Structure 1
Amino acid sequence: MKILYCSVGKLCLYISYIVLLYFLLCAWRPARGQTPYTLQGQVLSAENQEPLAGASVLLRGTTNGTSTDKNGYFSVTASEKETRLFLSFIGYRSLDTLLVLPLKKELVLILQQDLTMLEEVKVSMGYWETSKKLSTGNISKVTEQTIEKQPVSNPIQALSGRMPGVFVQQQSGVAGGGIKIRIRGANSIASGNEPLYVVDGVPYASASLMSGQMNSIMSGGSPLSAINPSEIASIEVLKDADATSIYGSRGSNGVVLITTKKGKAGTTRFNLTADRGASTVTHRMKLLNTSQYLEMRNEAYRNDSKVPTAGSNGYDLLQYDTTRYTDWQKKLIGGTAFRTNVQASLSGGSKNTNFVLGAGYYKEGTVFPGDFSYRKTTGHFTISHQSEDGRFGLSASLSYQLERQRIFSGDITWNSLQLLPNAPDIYDKEGKLNWGPYTFNNPYAYLIRKYKSNTHNLITSVVASYKISPGLVLRSSMGYTAMQMGENSSVPVASFNPQTGILTGSANFGNGSLESWIIEPQLEYKKTFRRSDMTFLAGSTFQQNRFDKQTLAAAGFTSDTQLENIRAASSVNVTETVNTQYKYNAVYGRLNYVGNEKFLLNLTARRDGSSRFGPDNRFANFWAVGGGYIFSNENGIRSQWPALSFGKLRASFGTSGNDQISDYGYLDSYSAGSYAYNGMAVYIPTRLANPGYGWETNRKLEAALELGFFSNRILAEFSFFRNRSSSQLVGYPLPATTGFTTIQYNLPAKVQNKGVEFEMSAVITENRKLNWSVSFNMTVSATKLISYPNLQGSSYVNRYRIGEPLSLARVYKAQGVDPKTGTYRFLDVNGDGVISSAGDQKQFTALVPKFYGGVGSNLRMGGWQLDVFFQFVKQNGYNYNSSFGMPGTKNNQPVQVMERWQNQESSTAIQKFSQNVSGETYIPYTNNQSSSSAVGDASYIRLKNVSLSCQLPAVWTRAIKIPDLKLTLTGQNLLTFTRYSGLDPETQSFISLPSLRTISMGLKLTL
């Protein structure tokens, strides 16, 4: 039965209050006493000066409007001396202009033809920019309008479900937590599947500086969380060979281009955005209450023919209060995380020089009990200049972010699911942590094991260009990034049960830094002849990264107040130290041809060099060819198919590399030994050299069809892709007799990602009263290992399988509960009468999405705008059978276990209760945790985002001296429809906080 993850009553009540407030603010109109003005004019087409009949004419901030007649004329009455006139017509670009009444002469307004912005919408490939119409590559894009409608702290979250071929999965609901993104699947077995992130032309680190040994609650963290979503103008994802090959090895797993906002010519404007929101856990599992738990425990003893005693085996039945009940999910993860977001910017400039200066503050609490928070302070400055003659151009960008995380080191989500419903109270009568009779694992002890981190992040970029002659431009981009992180985790004595006898505390201290610089000189030449355009680009890349990290473990603190003072420790040990340097050089070239506005050709070549390989294998060549044919521009096509307004066929094929492995892996390495020889320190070998391995190679193939109908009111795109990655970089296992466990190696295995992508957008209606558009995208993909020489004889035989995805669950085939014994039974594959992992764990279940996508709707009526977006994913995942303790032991359980076996007439999928972890039921239970019953449907449909905004009427905003004021109401992760039996089908974890539901209300004004 489907589960609806929401408190419908409360949600509806909150929405009702907020909508009522919106109605009062937006629907109210002050009395008008101004003299009416008659506004008359004609609307013409820019292409042939023909009148446009039926064009929509609307006075901004009002519901007053009209449509043009058959000769393109209109007449409308305005009550304000200053008014904004908005014109729209299907197939043409909208026009928004400010008028001062009365007019001295009749208006003549010209609208430009708009192929649904195929020409106007620009897509970036990092090194150059083109239009959506002329692009030969596969590029998906979201703009600031989409990003600003989502109350997210990490900009990558704004992509979830909105791009075909791009799968985003949140790893933890904690702010700043880990996020996984896969562009067209995983290409590499072991060497890394992260895309390349580029911010304003500067590569951005995807590796986290966070130390896993200090902090598990963040699920590794995400460096992208430092970037302020409010500063972003667009995010583009490059997917196919034509789009990514210009980045060579760095673009093997796709490229994510983040472009920040730039200034525009015009008067200086001040923009302020502020919102306040609240987040809660989307869903809590239904667990046993006290009476159900006691029933389970007592039945377990009866099944085992045992009697509980007051000792360690039955204290929960005989020592704990059997009338007490605590909803631990509500107590530990049932709080409200309040969110505050304030962003301000100043922008403006002339036609030659413009600028943007912005700052932001973001704070988000947690749903855990206690005063914990995530804070982010950001600043951004961009300036662009062009000389009067247009030959010299210069732009510079500087962005700074400070992240401060104040939380505890370990997630208590698992505690909220496992703690006994009749467990003692958190505090004793004296207000101290209660450790209860016998062993009560007090979860509040983890809350005082604090974790703190401060992250400083600087991103700078400069682009200078000079036009040597018509068509010939010399350009150079330079960038520098610096990320520094300091962290501290502490384990005070107060967090231990006094019965353990632990009298000293401990702490960990970490410092990490990552610096990167890049210089890319380029020469571009453009030539137009007859009806053809040709562009040639040549350039080179010089990049260097330096990574430093050190972690210290301090012990022996006699006072909990001194845990952040490393000098107070009695012993300090270095547990981690890293100091590496990565160098990358490349030369590249690109030739682009556009013939007769129909024939498109794009040739790209690049030679890369990486310091991560031995001297003889550092350089490799990568290339791609992309072509397109705009068949809708052929003579007679539109006359034969009048509904067709745009049609393009495109295809691409090429190669890219992968060097996402550790630095210096081809060299021997040594570490200090823990013993001495003749009183002298010794070093022991820790890595075996292999200078012979080289680049992992990815070959990408794509074919696509793009269509537009009815003046491009309907746009559709079908894409087929196939990526094959070979020469897999893995740590190849070695026999123990060699003294090493693995050696870096090019495994002759091939991984294939194949699938189809479909996206569509449609304008349902567009007039002066109502504008409604919808969008849809879906990706159906399959990842599989297509070859692996001698897989059966390798140590990976139990991990991978030919013809199956890389992410597999290797499980027993569950066959329900034996009606005679009441225990789980499984298929005996080899028929030896014994269930064993080697002989019977032969079933493989894929743990990758089968298909995913999203459906969106944009509805605009007057000053109101409503955006609704649903995300859907079809997938399998681990359910509660994989994680919870054996039913009958001292652990809480999902309510489903009450449908257990009780006698030989029982027909159930849950085995009988037992408290004996060494009895006859325990082995079947542990086998069941690795069986097909532990993997189930984790598909879901989620109301990912709802955004309601109201542009206040101009007559009202002028009264308060604010030209532009908008009120907003946004929601994220509002509803989830799923059959998944766990906390959250997205995170699929019982030990990490699930994703949160957020409702936020704010305003946006311009002065």
Structure 2
Amino acid sequence: MKNRTKGLVVIFLVLGNLVAFAQNITIQGVITAEDDGLPLPGANVVVKDMAIGASANFDGEYTLEVPSGDVTLVFSYQGFSSQEVSVGGQRTINVALKTDVNELDEVVIIGYGSTTKKDLTGSIATIKSEDLESVRSTTADDFVQGRVSGLLLTQTSGQPGGATSVRIRGSSSINASNEPLYVIDGFPVDNNSDNLSAGVAEGPSINALSTLSANDIASIDVLKDASATAIYGSRGANGVIIITTKRGLNGDAQINYDTYLGVSEVIKKLDVLNASQFAFYVNESKYNGSGDPRFYTNPTSFGVGTDWQDEIFRTAITKSHDLSIKGGNQDIKYAVSGSYLDQEGVVIETDFKRYNFRVNLDFKATEKLSIENSLSLNRTNFNTARTETTGGVEVASSAITGAYQFNPLLPVFDPEGNYTKGNFIVQDDGTFVNDVSNIQEQIPNFPSPVAYQKLTESKGKATRILDNLAIKWDVAKNLQLKTTLGVDLNINEQFYFRTEEIDFGNSPGAFAAQAKNTATSYLAESTLNYTNTFNNRHRVNALVGASWQDFTIESLSGNALGFPTENFGSNNLGLGLNPGVSSNIIESRLISYFGRVNYILDNKYIFTATSRVDGSSKFGDGNKYGFFPSGAFAWNVSEEDFLQDSGLYLKLRLGYGIIGNESIAPYSAQSTFKPTYHSFNDNEVVGQLPSTPANSALKWERTEQYNIGLDLGFFNDRLGFTIDGYRKNTEDLLLNLQVPSQTGYIQSVVNAGSVRNEGIELGINAQMFKGKFNWDVNLTGAYNKNKILDLAGLDNIPTGFGILGITNWQLLVEGGEIGAFYGYVSDGIVQLDDDPATTPRFATDTFTPGERKYKDLNGDGVIDADNDRTFIGNPIPEYTFGINNTITWKNWDLNIFMQGVYGNEIANFNRINLENLNGQGNVLLEAFSNRWTPNNPSNTYTRAADGPRNIVFSDHYVEDGSYLRLKSATLGYSIPGKFLSKMKINKLRFYLTGKNLFTLTDYSGVDPEVSFGGQNNNLSAGADFGGYPTSRTFLLGLNVNF
């Protein structure tokens, strides 16, 4: 009986276990991060209210047996919000956890360290990695346009890899640089394109930051006020942009591959005359000018002719590949990336190719010693187009202006099959003259844009090596010593070759040039950082440091002409005649000592004090060292008892500081000479001429800046506002002044004058919807007013690059603005019934109906440059703004970004040529169709004839430069995880991006984002003449993560 009882017990136990086992089910899936789709190794999953759970492996995969029935799984991971999922009948449950980071606790990179947003006292804007991933850009600085209030970025050229102009809180200097300091992984780099360029390839400058792959960037922090930038002292006056690249992580290797294919076309072409219209125009212009009979008896027979814009512009292809691997463990973390970019330009024979390789290593040698190294190797190759610049190796018309003005009657190829080169008039029977000697039938001679691009070589290659090694030693508890050693090496080589055909015999044979420029910067820095908290009330962070940075630029160039053969191009200068060789070395050094103390009381009251002493070799004895202090205070009002439970975030910020600017040529304080060549006894001898006089009193520009800020957050930060007001007063301006010729010098750099910038900045962040459908909106807006306060008695300084023989079209005066346009005020067109006695005109001109007339501002009846010119425009926008929309729904994501400017003007020098109806180059269809005639008394456009004052700079050519642009739009779709898990793919996303999709503007030119010659200084801003056009681009790409 007893044995039977035991047997029954065993049977019931077995059956019970079988039943219990039968009631369990197996759940499996993958746990990932919602923001980037990466797996979360070690993430936990438990059955709610039960002691049943499991952890995810390194691929984020988990397997868990749970009781059948209505149970709930809880997924959790450090730094992420927990998520509950009801099992129901599911067997596979994939979960994407959301990051649980309070926006106020986000890390912000500052000079020589980091902090959190809630502990900031200065004005700093951060662009996070997730913001960057929604945008595809070929250059790093393109990310900040319109996304940071108070920052104005202008794409000075549409050339692939072309330079940009960046202004943070306006322009504080007239002749010294206004570009911000760039710091890449702790290394302050030189982004001055002129310093890095070899200088013989034609076209705009190449952007120094174009060597950086956008996919390598983890974050961009923009330091704007003196409290934030004073730690960089003499280089902080124009703001600081800190770029941090991606680093390794603890876990299995993660592989990411991104690729896209794109097509680009010019945004807009100018509407000029076709062949038949051009023939009519030539007839009328010749008849009105000299009374000659009509040259063409049947203009309509020429038809449309050649559209030179179609011939010079093309549909360009862009290809990009980026591959990165990152991973590591507790001791070693690594991030390795390589990329290749092949970008054709929309102008024929132009392109930009970039090869990138980067290795970031983090090594923990001991508990107290760690080593970090950031190494990047970059190579770029580029072919450029001549734009209408002031430099290059020769003076000639550009390919761009040629596309607008070249004779549409001419074909691309002559009857012999060669490129048409000269700009000649076609005969009445359709034949044309290609003979320099036929002067009477020759239009001013410049090459066809196609011939120029095809028969010249203008190329370059650049190599950059940037390495930064940091050694961190925890000397004691809360005390860390960091030593940094780095080098930035830039080698730029450029080559130029022009065939004899393009020169039309003006020089004996072809012309060739080569140049090499090597710029090297060495950096050594040490910092000691102390951090501690006392009594849970007092938090202290103190930093002291020293820095030494050495700069060397070595250049070598040579040129020759008259080659017996053109087969070698620019590769054998020794074959040519009249060789010219030059070499140069420029050195400068910066030695600095700095410190910062940050004290926080009760998480409410924050005090920051910063100072830096910089010693620069550029300045005179007794003025080599400058002291740059700053102080700031912030009050976290929301930490007070009366606001703690309100859901409102409120912080007030006050800041003051003095920062400097030393961005001038290294030997500006010393007497310099330049070579001169003379013939003596039939021998050529070389001498030296004085260039600039010594100025031992030369010292730093000094900018004093005040800042007041307000940070607001509502509804637990779903709606946030950041408002800043500032005033920047810059004194002791570094001015390049022309010196009277009797002194024997050309110019001198002096400290003279002061400038003020003041403005307001606004940033708004809003989570419009949050859940399955997410919609985030970020708006930025800024107002800045620039004013010259004082020029130290040097008032009325004319400036402005020579364009079309026009100089001094800008004027610096006290009370005015930097770069303001200065010219005549147009007063319509001279009409038949105007009184010659009362119509003002230039002293040497006759009264001619159909010519442009100008206002006589001083009323003396004569138009002259001294008395009848005034300010007619300002190239710097008063308002800048941007709006960024990010929408996600299920597996779809959409990003739409718009930006614009308001309150600036553009000097459209293209129109001066294209409205000059002198019967020579092509002109705008609108100008010819609406020209003045006795039967059409236009008050806008002149008659068709060679008028004596057609090339005059006036407000007629100054236009409103305001615009609103749909800068980019990206639509993406991520393949659901359930389809990828079996292939071990964490994320697969396809995307379509459009850039520069449309622009709302009243500007009549190709694009309102202009700068003369692709330059980025204040005295070229807002001038449009023959620039490389901006393109509209569509990209199709994919991103995959393993």
- TM-score, with normalisation over the residues of structure 1? 0.85
The answer to whether the Cα contact below 8 Å between 1:428 and 1:434 also exists between their aligned partners in 2 is no
| Residue number in structure 1 paired with 2:201 | 215
Distance 1:633 1:556 in 2: 78
2:494 is matched with which residue? 487
Q: CA deviation at 1:822?
A: 2.6
Paired with 1:948 and 1:752, the residues of 2 have a C-alpha distance of: 43
Q: Which amino acid aligns with 2:164?
A: I
C-alpha distance after superposition, 1:717-776 (max 9, x if no partner) = 1111111111011123322211112222111x1101111110101001111x21111110
Helix, strand or coil at the partner of 1:234: strand
1:1000 equivalenced with 2:1028 (yes/no): no
Correspondence 1:598 to 2:604: yes
The answer to which of 813-822 and 962-971 deviates more is: 813-822
State how far apart, in whole Å, the 2-side matches of 1:969 and 1:36 are.
Answer: 42
Deviations 1:589-617 (A, max 9, x none): 11101111110110001111000012211
Q: 2:361 aligns with which of 376, 383, 401?
A: 383
2:119 matched residue in structure 1: 134
Q: Take 2:737 and 2:506, find their aligned partners in 1: how far apart are those partners?
A: 45
Larger Rg: 2
Residue type of the partner of 2:400? T
> Deviation per CA, 1:506-537, whole angstroms, max 9, x where unpaired?
10110110111111111111221121101111
Assess if the C-alpha contact under 8 Å between 1:137 and 1:243 holds in 2: yes
- The alpha-carbon distance between structure 1 residues 911 and 721, as it changes in their structure 2 partners (threshold 3 A), is same
Deviations 1:176-210 (A, max 9, x none): 21211111111111122121111111111122256
2:531 maps to what in 1? 526
Partner Cα distance (1:588, 1:358) in 2? 34
Q: Corresponding residue for 1:421?
A: 408
Deviates further, 829-838 or 872-881: 872-881
Identify if the C-alpha distance between structure 1 residues 590 and 292 changes in structure 2 by more than 3 Å, giving closer, same or farther: same
Taking a change above 3 Å as real, the CA distance of residues 103 and 134 of structure 1, as seen in their structure-2 partners, is farther
CA distance in 2, matches of 1:403, 1:97: 51
Say if 2:413 and 2:420, in contact at 8 Å, map to a contact too. Answer: yes
Deviates most, 983-992 or 473-482: 983-992
> Is 1:699 matched with 2:734?
no
Match of 2:661 among 637, 648, 658: 658
Are 2:808 and 1:805 equivalent residues in the alignment?
Answer: no
Instruction: From 941, 944, 957, give the equivalent of 2:964.
Output: 941
- Which whole-Å deviations, capped at 9, do the CAs of 1:953-1007 have from their partners, x for residues lacking one? 1122234442321111112111111111001111263411221111111111112
Q: Find the residue that maps to 1:129 and give its secondary structure.
A: strand
Q: Is the 8 A contact 1:401 1:457 kept in 2?
A: yes
Find the counterpart in structure 1 of residue 769 from structure 2. 765
SS of 1:176's partner is coil
Q: Secondary structure at the match of 1:249?
A: helix
SS at 2:911's partner residue? helix
Aligned-partner Cα distance in 2 for 1:299–1:886: 13
Alignment partner of 1:292: what SS? helix
Cα distance in 1, alignment partners of residues 527 and 567 from structure 2:
57
Query: What is the alpha-carbon distance in structure 1 between the residues aligned to residue 61 and residue 190 of structure 2?
Result: 53
Aligned counterpart, 2:614: 608
1:165-176 alignment, distance < 5 Å: 165-176=150-161
1:515 corresponds to 2:511: no
Q: 668, 672, 676: which is aligned to 1:669?
A: 672
The CA deviation at 1:368 is 2.5
How do residues 914-953 of structure 1 correspond to structure 2 at under 5 angstroms? 914-916=944-946, 921-923=947-949, 925-927=950-952, 930-953=953-976
State which of 310, 335, 338 in structure 2 corresponds to 1:330.
310
Partner of residue 964, structure 1: 987
Q: Cα distance 1:450–1:98, how it changes in 2: closer, same or farther (>3 A)?
A: farther
Distance 1:36 1:274 in 2: 42
Q: 1:577 aligns with which of 563, 580, 583?
A: 583
Matched, 1:198 2:183: yes
**More off after superposition, 340-349 vs 548-557:** 548-557
Q: Which residue of 1 aligns with 2:42?
A: none
- After superposition, the Cα gap between the structure-2 partners of 1:299 and 1:86, relative to the gap in structure 1 and judged at 3 Å, is farther
CA RMSD of superposed structures (Å): 3.4
* Structure 2 residue aligned with 1:861: 889
Question: Cα deviation per residue 1:13-53 (whole Å; 9 max; x = unaligned)?
Answer: xxxxxxxxxxxxxxxxxxxxxx997799xxxxxxxxxxxxx
From 543, 565, 574, the counterpart of 2:571 = 565
SS in 2 for 1:943: strand
Give the Cα separation in 2 of the matches to 1:565 and 1:672: 26
From 1001, 1005, 1030, the counterpart of 1:978: 1001
Secondary structure of 2:951's partner? helix
Distance 1:338 1:87 in 2: 49
Larger mean Cα displacement after TM superposition, 962-971 or 942-951:
962-971
Question: Which one of the candidate residues 438, 442, 464 is aligned to 1:457?
Answer: 464
Shift of 1:907: 5.7
Aligned amino acid, residue 130 of structure 2: Q
Name the counterpart of 1:46: none
How many residues align structurally? 915
Residue 474 of structure 1 contacts residue 522 of structure 1 at CA under 8 Å; is this kept in 2? yes
The 3 A distance-change label for structure 1 pair 347 and 949 is same
* Superposition map of 1:92-491 within 5 A: 94=81, 114-115=101-102, 117-119=103-105, 121-208=106-193, 209=195, 214-217=200-203, 219-304=204-289, 306-308=291-293, 314=295, 322-333=302-313, 335-370=314-349, 372-387=350-365, 389=367, 391-409=368-386, 411-433=398-420, 435=422, 436-438=432-434, 439=442, 441-447=447-453, 448-491=455-498
Identical counterparts, % of pairs: 25
Gaps of 5+ in 2: 1-23, 40-47, 50-59, 65-71, 388-397, 423-431, 435-441, 800-807, 833-848, 1012-1023
Matches within 5 A, 1:899-914: 900-903=930-933, 906=936, 908-914=938-944
Matched-pair contact (CA < 8 Å) for 1:374–1:404: yes
Q: 1:884 deviation in Å?
A: 2.6
- Alignment CA distance shift 1:956-1:995 (3 Å): same
240-249 or 542-551, larger mean C-alpha shift: 542-551
Alpha carbons of structure 1 residues 95 and 293: separation in structure 2 relative to 1, 3 Å: farther
SS of residue in 1 equivalent to 2:131: helix
Maintained 8 Å contact 1:656/1:699:
yes
Superposed CA offset, 1:802-856 (max 9, x none): 2221011102122222332232222101111111111100234211111111111
Deviations 1:143-167 (A, max 9, x none): 3333343332221112111111111
Q: 1:899 to 1:819 in 2, by over 3 A?
A: farther
Q: 2:35, 2:566 → 1: CA distance?
A: 70
Question: Are the structure 2 counterparts of residues 388 and 912 from structure 1 closer, same or farther at C-alpha, using a change threshold of 3 Å?
Answer: closer
Q: 1:572 to 1:542 in 2, by over 3 A?
A: farther
Quickly say closer, same or farther: Cα 1:99–1:987, change in 2 above 3 A.
farther
Is 1:787 the equivalent of 2:790? Answer: yes
Distance 1:696 1:97, change over 3 A: farther
Contact kept? 1:276, 1:1000, Cα under 8 Å: yes
**Structure 1 residues 145 and 563: alpha-carbon distance in aligned structure 2, compared to 1, 3 A threshold:** same
Aligned match for 1:890, one of 920, 927, 931: 920
User: Aligned with 1:446: secondary structure?
Assistant: helix
* Structure 1 residue 351 displacement after superposition: 2.5
The alpha-carbon deviation at position 130 of structure 1 amounts to: 0.5
Name the amino acid aligned to 1:462. L
Q: Distance in 1 between matches of 2:172 and 2:773?
A: 45
Residue 470 and residue 959 in structure 1: after superposition, are their counterparts in 2 closer, same or farther (change >3 A)?
Answer: closer
Q: What's the TM-score, normalizing by structure 2? A: 0.82
